[in-house]
C-alpha cells in the first residue's frame, strides 16, 4: 500500500480558490521517500484519497514510481521516457505552443527562451561596474531594501540600466503603493513595468527584476512571472520556477524532444510555490492568468506522458 501525504487546509474555501492548480509529478525518487503522485492516495484536510491533478489541494512527496512510462537513470540523474511517451509529450507541446503565443505571449516568451538566473554566482554583466553588486541575489536584496525604505534605486550593468523609483500611494487603493520600473538597454528602446501592491509585494517584485537585470535578462523577458512575486511568493522561489520552465518548449515548428527531467523539475517548482504560500497569496495566484495558464500547460504535458497507456 502506498503511503499518502497529508496537508491540513486552513480554509475550506481554498479548494475552490486554487482548483486545478496542484500538479502530479512523475519522477522516481533518489531521496528514498515514499510514493505519491498520479494515481496514488493523497489526503487533504482529513478528506478521503484524491488523485493528484484533481481540483483540490493535495500533498506531494518525492516519488518512487508515479508513471509507468518514466524511469530514473541514477547514473545520469535524468528521467527516461518510453518512445511512445516521449512522442506524446512532444506532440502535446507542439499543440500547446501556438495557443500560448496567441493568448499568453509574455509567458510563451519565457517558455521558449533558455533563461537562467544563478542567484549566488557573480555575473559578467555587473563586473567592472562601479558600485554594482556582484551577484543577482545582492542586486535583488539591495533593490528590495531600497524600495521598502521608501527610496529609489538604480542598477547599472553592461547590458543597460534598471531604474526603480520610490513607491507612491496608489490612487485606486489606499492600502497599496505603486512604482514604474524602467529598463534602458545599451541597444534598443526602453521598456517599463508597473508594480502595484503592498510595499512588501512591490519590494519583492522589484527584487525579481533586479536579479534578472543582474543576470543580463531584461524585465520584459520575465514579465509573465512578475505577478507571482506581486502575489507574495518570495522572489527566490519565482527565480527557481523561471530557471525550470524557461526554454521548456521550442519555438521551432518541429519541436525538439521536451526534456522530461526539466518538466519534472518545473512541476516541483510550481508545486513548491503552492505548498509554501498562505491563503491570501494562493487567492491572488488563482487570479493570475499567467500562473494559471502555466499550471494548465504543465498539467497537460504531464498527462501526455501517461497517455500511451491510458
Range of the domain at 85: 6-104+261-304
Burial, 183: exposed, middle or buried (Cβ in 10 Å; 0-12, 13-18, 19+)? Answer: buried
Q: Does a structural domain hold residue 115?
A: no
What single string gives the DSSP state of each residue in 34-74? ---STTS-BEETT---B-TTSSS-------S---TTEEEET
* Residue 186: count of CB within 10 angstroms of its CB: 9
Contact present, 271 and 299 (Cβ < 8 Å) = no
What whole-number distance in Å separates Cα of residue 270 and Cα of residue 283?
15
**Do residues 199 and 266 both lie within one domain?**
no
* Helix (H), strand (E) at residue 148: helix 136-148
Residues 6+ apart with CB under 8 A from 98: none
> Which pLDDT score, from 0 to 100, does residue 131 have?
60
Three-state DSSP at 115 gives: coil
pLDDT tens-digit map of 101-150: 999 999 999 999 999 999 998 877 776 565 656 799 999 999 999 999 99
Which among 107, 104, 94 has a CA at the least distance from the CA of 252? Answer: 94
Nearest CA-CA partner of 144 in 160, 121, 167:
167
In a domain? residue 32: yes
In the predicted structure, residue 214 carries a pLDDT above the cut 60: yes
Q: Are residues 187 and 228 in the same domain?
A: yes
Does residue 131 fall inside a structural domain? no
270 is a domain residue: yes
pLDDT at 35 over 60: no
Give the C-alpha separation, 237 to 233, whole Å: 7
Per residue in 57-78, pLDDT (tens digit) is 333 333 334 678 888 888 888 8
Chain position carrying cell 506524446: 88
Q: Are residues 23 and 89 in the same domain?
A: yes
Q: What is the dihedral of CA 44, 85, 69, 15, to 10 degrees?
A: 0
User: Which candidate, 180, 177, 155, places its Cα nearest to that of 165?
Assistant: 180
| Tens digits of residue pLDDT in 228-262 | 999 999 999 999 999 999 999 977 656 578 999 99
Same domain? 10 vs 78? yes
Higher pLDDT, 46 or 75: 75
Based on the fold, state whether residues 211 and 158 are members of the same structural domain: yes
| Domain count within the chain | 2
pLDDT value of position 234: 98
The chain-wide mean pLDDT, for the chain, equals: 78
Residue 256 gets which letter from DSSP? Answer: P
pLDDT tens-digit map of 275-291? 899 999 999 999 999 99
pTM score of the predicted model: 0.81
Q: Is the domain of 64 the same as that of 143?
A: no
Amino acid at each position: 500500500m502506498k503511503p499518502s501525504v497529508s496537508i491540513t487546509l486552513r480554509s475550506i474555501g481554498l479548494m475552490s480558490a486554487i482548483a486545478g492548480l496542484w500538479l502530479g509529478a512523475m519522477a522516481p525518487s533518489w531521496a528514498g521517500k515514499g510514493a505519491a503522485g498520479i494515481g496514488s492516495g493523497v489526503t487533504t484536510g482529513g478528506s478521503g484519497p484524491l488523485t493528484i491533478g484533481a481540483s483540490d489541494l493535495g500533498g506531494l512527496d518525492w516519488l518512487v514510481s508515479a508513471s509507468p512510462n518514466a524511469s530514473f537513470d541514477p547514473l545520469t540523474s535524468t528521467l527516461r521516457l518510453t518512445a511512445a511517451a516521449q512522442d506524446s509529450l512532444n506532440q502535446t507541446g507542439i499543440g500547446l505552443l501556438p495557443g500560448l503565443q496567441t493568448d499568453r505571449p509574455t509567458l510563451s516568451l519565457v517558455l521558449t527562451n533558455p533563461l537562467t538566473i544563478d542567484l549566488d554566482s557573480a555575473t559578467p554583466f555587473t563586473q567592472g561596474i562601479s558600485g554594482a553588486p556582484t551577484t543577482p541575489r545582492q542586486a535583488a536584496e539591495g533593490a528590495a531594501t531600497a524600495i521598502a525604505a521608501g527610496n529609489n534605486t538604480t542598477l547599472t550593468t553592461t547590458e543597460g540600466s534598471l531604474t526603480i523609483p520610490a513607491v507612491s500611494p496608489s490612487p485606486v487603493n489606499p492600502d497599496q503603493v505603486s512604482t514604474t520600473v524602467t529598463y534602458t538597454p545599451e541597444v534598443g528602446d526602453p521598456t517599463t513595468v508597473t508594480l502595484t501592491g503592498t510595499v512588501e509585494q512591490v519590494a519583492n517584485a522589484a527584487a525579481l527584476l533586479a536579479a534578472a537585470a543582474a543576470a543580463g535578462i531584461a524585465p520584459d523577458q520575465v514579465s509573465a512571472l512578475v505577478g507571482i512575486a506581486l502575489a507574495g511568493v518570495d522572489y527566490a522561489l519565482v527565480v527557481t520556477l523561471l530557471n525550470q520552465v524557461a526554454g521548456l518548449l521550442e519555438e521551432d515548428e518541429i519541436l525538439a524532444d521536451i526534456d522530461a527531467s526539466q518538466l519534472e523539475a518545473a512541476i516541483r517548482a510550481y508545486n513548491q510555490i503552492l505548498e509554501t504560500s498562505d491563503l491570501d497569496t494562493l487567492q491572488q495566484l488563482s487570479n493570475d492568468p499567467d500562473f494559471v495558464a502555466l499550471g494548465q500547460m504543465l498539467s497537460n504535458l504531464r498527462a501526455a506522458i501517461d497517455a500511451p497507456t491510458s
